[in-house]
Structure 1
Amino acid sequence: MHTDLWNFALQLYARPGVEAACLQWQDLGGDVCLLLCGMWLSARGIAPNEQRARQLAELADAWQTDVVKPLRTLRQAWRDKASQDAQLAGLREQVKGLELAAERVLLERLEGICKDWAATPETGLDWISWLAPKGAGAHHDALHALRVVMLTTQDAEDGV
């Protein structure tokens, strides 16, 4: 298992079905960086609780609102025009790079909050339920797909 959140997120996001499930999660109002952090914490055996989930969510919400979402909004607004304007397409790619860099900073900040949280011998560490946006439902298809990928990731790392 990768020890840092960024590399864990890259590895997990590259697995089949994860990108689509993460985008569905985002469409439900969820924060993909927060979700990936929760999956990383589950893989590390860190138990969720209300205080921890709130602490992570507050940090993520502020960064998403102030930094990531404005970049995403700009990038999406330029989508159609950039397909017909090579210079604008180049600028759009730069904005996309900034958006990714902002998400990496968020993952680093989330990791910083929870780096000293100790693992517990508990099973069923379902951070997804704790971090799901209100109204998304804990059994939504995207959440189920992410749980399945997470379980197969853990099984592969455990040699099962």
Structure 2
Amino acid sequence: MSSDLWSFSLTTYARPGIEDACLTLQSAGVNVCLLLCGLWLGERGVTCNEQRLQLLRDIAGPWDADVVQPLRALRMQWKAAASEDAGLDDLREQVKALEMEAERHLLLRLERVAQSWPQYEVTDSTAWLEGVAAGAAHLNRDALHQLRVAATGT
């Protein structure tokens, strides 16, 4: 298991089935950085509770809305045109890199706040996944289950 959230996120996201499940849940309004953080906390055995969930949401929400989402929107807006314009495609790739860097910064912020939480208290990451996905419109339970299975190998 990776000790830092960024390395854990990269390793986890690269596993078969994780990217598709994350993108499906993202389209339903779930923050993928929170999902990955939830998986990380679950693997570390950190107890999930409403206070911790709210603290993570309070950190992720503004950063996602003010930094990540505008970059993602611009990248998506340029998608069709960039397929026919090499210069725009280069710029789109730079925006994509900025979007990923913004997500890295968010994961660092989430890790910083969660670093002191006691570990190895619980063994079930379900509470974290359910908690970070709660309130998402049209939540795809199959994708959430697929993410849990792909991440844990069970």
Is the counterpart of residue 36 in structure 1 residue 7 in structure 2? no
Task: Tell me the distance in 1 between the aligned counterparts of 2:107 and 2:47.
Answer: 19
Question: Corresponding residue for 1:87?
Answer: 87
Structure 1 outlier segments of 4+, above 6 Å: none
Q: Name 2:111's counterpart in structure 1.
A: 111
Aligned length: 153
Deviation, 1:37, is 0.3
Shift of 1:134: 1.2
Contact kept, 8 Å, 1:129 with 1:138, in 2: the verdict is no
CA displacement 1:102-128 (0-9 Å, x = unmatched): 000000000001000001433323201
Report the equivalent of 2:131: 130
CA RMSD of aligned residues (A): 1.6
Amino acid at match of 1:99: E
Q: TM-score, normalised by structure 1?
A: 0.90
Comparing 19-28 and 138-147, the one that deviates more: 138-147
Tell me what 2:149 maps to. 148
- Residues 51-88 of structure 1: CA distance to partner in whole angstroms, max 9, x if unpaired? 00000011111100010000000000001111111111
Q: Which runs of 5+ in 2 are unaligned?
A: none
- Contact kept, 8 Å, 1:45 with 1:121, in 2: the verdict is yes
Is the 8 Å Cα contact of residues 82 and 88 (structure 1) preserved in structure 2?
yes
The change in CA–CA distance for 1:85 and 1:139 in structure 2 (over 3 A counts) is: closer
TM-score (norm 2): 0.94
Q: Which runs of 5+ in 1 are unaligned?
A: 156-160
| Contact map agreement 2:18 2:150 (CA 8 A) in 1 | yes
| Residue 27 (1) aligns with residue 27 (2) | yes
